Chains A and B, each alone.
Chain A
Amino acid sequence: MDNPVLSFRNVRQVFSQGERTLCALDNLNFNIAPGQVTGLIGPDGAGKTTLMRLACGLLRPESGEIRVLDLDVIAEPQAVQSAVGYMPQRFGLYEDLSVQENLDLYAELQGLPQEKRSTRYSELMHMTGLAAFTTRLAGQLSGGMKQKLGLACALLRAPRLLLLDEPTVGVDPVSRRELWAIVYRQVQEQGMSVLLSTAYLDEAERCNEVLLLHQGRLSGQGPPSEFSASVQGRIFQVSAAGISHRRLQARLSQVSNVLDAMVEGKTVRLIMKQAGQPTVKEWLPGFDDVRIKPVAPRFEDAFVARLKNRHDSVTAMDGLNLRMDSHDEKEVVIRVHKLVRRFGEFIAVNNVSFDVRRGEIFGLLGANGAGKTTTFRMLCGLLPASAGELSVAGLDLHVARAEARRHIGYMAQKFSLYGDLSVMQNLHFFASAYGLRHRHRDEQVKWAIDTFDLADYREANARDLPSGFKQRLSFAAALMHEPEILFLDEPTSGVDPLARREFWARTNALAEAGVTVLVTTHFMEEANYCDRLLIMAEGAVLAEGTPDEMKMRARTADNADPTMEDAFIQLIEQCEQSGEDKGIKA
């Protein structure tokens, strides 16, 4: 067998921050074989970026040995840096230089001979679809195009080993798919070896081999199919008549043999602790039409099975006294009609209309820049609309913004609590900000601590909380005043997959309690947790419907069980197609 292109031996990396030390990587051992795509999979904070930087000699490990392309990285960092291609998380582009100027810079730096440049440039520009934009400033490219340009810059001299740090984060699914195609072409044509890190679990299935990193430790290495095979026979889809899918999920997740239960469309996906037909009927006495279907495992199932060891069940949202005038489930609580928002010449939101009914989880899906956050801000009354009608909880946002806000809970995309205040201080502050006083305030704070299991962290500063707990705290703060409508802007980005599942379980419980939830996400798979959703691209609505309806549209003979991402890409392609047709007719 060929020598590995990258090997770690007993590598340990510690960061010290004042008095605290953080072990980023702990005793890491692995080899990466040449000529294949290896995925470095793990949630944020698992140590992926640290691993990448160690491999490039940008960091020096506390102890251990690292070899790259038969070179000792610690002894000869420059030799390694000259030999590998690397794209850091923020792609290393100069936004005030044009596409061509960025290429020229990296061609000079990598020592690409003058005579080879023009062929290599046109090859790469063709491959990345950037040929028409060579004079445009890099800062004016879309996220996906920037990513492809960054990749092109790293590929100029066709390195033997290519290291890509989260190249697909925040990129729209179409660009993501193109990026993968480019990477695989390099592997096939040049025999290049690629190490690619990602927080998207569904991307693991696209790799030849996967390194699963969790909390600085390697918790598995092998082909993705091997991971999935380990949970073969433990994954089931359950549906039952006479009980809502959310209540079903809540019931099933209490059962001791069930490791995990998640809503998936109108059904519930179960991961069992052991293989074998589950006796669901026994757990659901009184329900007749219980259907159980074994399904093929996915990488995410294996991930959860490997890392979720405790039975973390989410408590129901009891004690929430919603300010609701009626509990009519058919009532429309958010109405958006022909909403438009312009920023100068740029139209961020273009003629968007939708209705959300009470107790629904309504998702806004789309890549970065699709207009989700802008729509959100208008709904919360943080940004005035340029045109169109907006009503929230029966109140017109043009006239009764402050009144409407009292019915709304908002959780911003970034962690927006006070890092220097403790959990209790934050909760007290937010309760006061919403006008809660005395006993009512204390009751609400206690409710938040109990419901979100924050008791152990009561006195800890918000900044020092683990990411999952930070998110719980933000969530709790948004619920202090018992809003009947909850806006969640990218609540799951940057959160580890287990914490994400827990978050969705809580959201389910809220919806079950009658709260209307509007949520944005760029994780396509999370659309499955919504009742209905809206897919947006470039400020406009591409489609609206239930997750199953969306997926049905993408169903073809080859792809009987399309994913949400397949559906999304198909919608985009259709949209472009019709755009071209119109162009021809005109």
Chain B
Amino acid sequence: MSARLRRLWGMIRKESLQILRDPSSISIAFIMPVALLLLFGYGVSLDAKNIPLGIVIEQPDTAAQSLAGAFDRSEFFRPQRFSAIQEAQQALNERHIEGILWLRNNFSSRLLSGGEAPIGVFVNGVDSNQANITKGYIQGTWQAWLQHYAASRGQTLGLPVTLEQRVWFNPALSSRLFLVPGLIAIIMTMIGSLLTAMVVAREWERGTMEALMVTPLRMGEMLTGKLIPYFMLGMGGMLLSVAMALFLFDVPLRSPFWLLMLCSALFMLVSLAIGLLISIVTRNQFLAGQVALVVSFLPSFLLSGFLFDIHSMPEWVQTITYLVPARYFVAILQTLFLAGPVWPVVLANAGAMLLMLLILTALVIRKSYKRLD
């Protein structure tokens, strides 16, 4: 083995031993992904199911009973009956229910006369996201019932347009299916940027960097020797997440596995480069952790399209998202898992990541020299 390889091997072995002995590295790489996946896979759901809904029927005739029955049968709602609107409003204020369906005593007559909307709907707008979902489902259930009701009486409805929705790739509109792939990007950001930034900064802080520098070790060898173990660790965390996605959450993988690995490796390198850059600039563990959290982890969480739709953000925020590498990777992940290898999407996003990697690598090389000043 050449001297260069020996030195590189020395660094890799040292770094791997340190990872194995440091419980926080292992837990960030393996325990945190499991915890996050379980939390997002089971706990957080953007779907509305069993929404507690208050129903107030002032005159219980056939039409009103039939409509209430439709809500009772819907899997989206868990209706409760209230005898007066005031009681229902009280329950809404106390957030026992998320919305109210109010059928007044003139409901049946106005329904038949085909006038303006005869039902009253209240939705708790404190959580606007939940409110929109609730409103949408109430409307959907109402319209479905209305059509059914009209058909059964041999009438056509006076509604101008009938919408027919068809959802591709995720027909059940299960949010888990797109949250879980996106989560992989978050987990890899944690390992690549946060963990790496902190361990490299630790070397500066403990003074070991100084000792490493006064040896034949070149800066490039040092960085490579540090990156390889963390690259492996990150890919390990990624494989664990993919396995959980496929086998625990039944997320489909509609693309070849090698393509997923290739794109993940590219994103891992981008994350590592960010982590390295942060540690070189800060040289302090606490600061490195904070900076990594603010410039890498939070944007990946909020601005990558993993949780919040990019298109519904204000334009200037949308512009910022182009600087977030996770944005490209989340797009790739959701495409690869749910849609299949849509090459224009994959290539465009992978190209953006490659460009970022080149810029970051250039910055890391420029900023890392064997000097303390």
Contact = CB atoms under 8 A, between A and B. Distances in A.
Given A78-B218, A101-B17, A92 B370 contact: no
A400 to B, nearest CB: 40
A62 to B, nearest CB: 10
Contact of B213 (A81, A87, A96, A163): A81
Interface string A84-101: 111111111111110001
B18 A81 contact: no
A109 B7 contact: yes
B206 interface: yes
30 contacts: A53-B372, A56-B213, A58-B213, A58-B371, A59-B372, A81-B214, A82-B215, A84-B214, A88-B214, A90-B210, A91-B207, A92-B207, A92-B210, A92-B211, A92-B212, A93-B211, A95-B206, A96-B17, A97-B17, A101-B17, A105-B10, A105-B13, A105-B14, A108-B6, A108-B9, A108-B13, A109-B7, A109-B11, A109-B215, A109-B217
Contact of A59 (B7, B208, B371): B371
A111 interface: yes
Contacts of B13: 104-105, 108
Interface of B: 3, 6-7, 9-11, 13-14, 17-18, 21-22, 206-208, 210-218, 370-373
Given A89-B207, A97-B17, A105-B10, A110 B216 contact: yes
B370 A81 contact: yes
B370 A57 contact: yes
Nearest to A110: B215
Contact of A109 (B207, B212, B372): B212
A60 B372 CA distance: 9
Interface residue range, chain A? 35 or more
Given A77-B370, A88-B211, A104-B10, A94 B18 contact: yes
Contacts of A180: none
Nearest to A88: B210
A96 to B, nearest CB: 5
Contacts of B6: 108, 111
Nearest to B215: A109
Given A78-B216, A97-B21, A109-B216, 18 more contacts: A77-B371, A78-B370, A81-B213, A81-B214, A86-B214, A88-B207, A90-B207, A92-B207, A93-B208, A93-B211, A94-B208, A96-B18, A97-B18, A105-B14, A108-B11, A111-B6, A111-B216, A153-B211
Task: Give the most central of B6, B14, B215: most A CB within 10 Å.
Answer: B215
Nearest to A107: B10
Interface in A147-165: 150, 153-154, 163
A108 B1 CA distance: 11
Interface string A46-60: 000000010011111
B200 to A, nearest CB: 14
B216 A81 contact: yes
A111 B3 contact: yes
Nearest to A93: B208
A105 B225 CA distance: 12
Contacts of A110: 215-216
A107 B206 CA distance: 20
A87 B17 CA distance: 23
A415 interface: no
A494 to B, nearest CB: 17
A60 B210 contact: no
B62 to A, nearest CB: 76
Contacts of A86: 210-211, 214
Nearest to A56: B214
A315 B217 CA distance: 56
Contact of A58 (B3, B18, B210, B218): B210
Contacts of A106: 215
A109 B318 CA distance: 47
Query: Would you list the 4 A-B pairs with minimal beta carbon distance, nearest first?
Result: A92-B211, A108-B10, A90-B207, A86-B214
B215 A57 contact: no
Interface in A477-530: none
B253 to A, nearest CB: 38
A60 B373 contact: yes
Contacts of A111: 3, 6-7, 216
A563 to B, nearest CB: 31
A95 B210 CA distance: 15
A153 B14 CA distance: 14
A56 B213 CA distance: 9
B10 A60 contact: no
A359 to B, nearest CB: 43
A97 B208 contact: no
Nearest to A53: B372
A77 to B, nearest CB: 6
Contacts of A95: 206
Given A109-B216, A111-B3, A58 B372 contact: yes
B206 to A, nearest CB: 7
Nearest to B371: A58
Nearest to A81: B214
A57 B370 CA distance: 8
B206 A90 contact: yes
Nearest to A87: B211
Contacts of A96: 17-18, 21-22
Contacts of A101: 14, 17
Contacts of B217: 109
B25 to A, nearest CB: 11
A91 B212 CA distance: 11
Contacts of A89: 207
B340 to A, nearest CB: 45
A97 B211 contact: no
B210 to A, nearest CB: 4
Contacts of B3: 111
B220 to A, nearest CB: 11
Nearest to B373: A59
A106 B14 CA distance: 10
Contact of A97 (B14, B215, B218, B373): B14
Given A97-B14, A101-B14, A81 B215 contact: yes
Contacts of B207: 88-92
Contacts of A93: 208, 211
A585 B373 CA distance: 59
A91 B14 CA distance: 17
B326 to A, nearest CB: 31
A81 B7 CA distance: 14
B10 A82 contact: no
B174 to A, nearest CB: 44
A82 B221 CA distance: 14
A569 B370 CA distance: 41
A95 B202 CA distance: 12
A496 B211 CA distance: 27
Given A86-B211, A88-B210, A96-B18, A108 B371 contact: no
B272 to A, nearest CB: 21
Contact of A91 (B211, B213, B215, B372): B211
Contacts of A56: 213-214
A60 B370 contact: no
B237 to A, nearest CB: 21
A153 to B, nearest CB: 8
A92 B202 CA distance: 12
Contacts of B22: 96
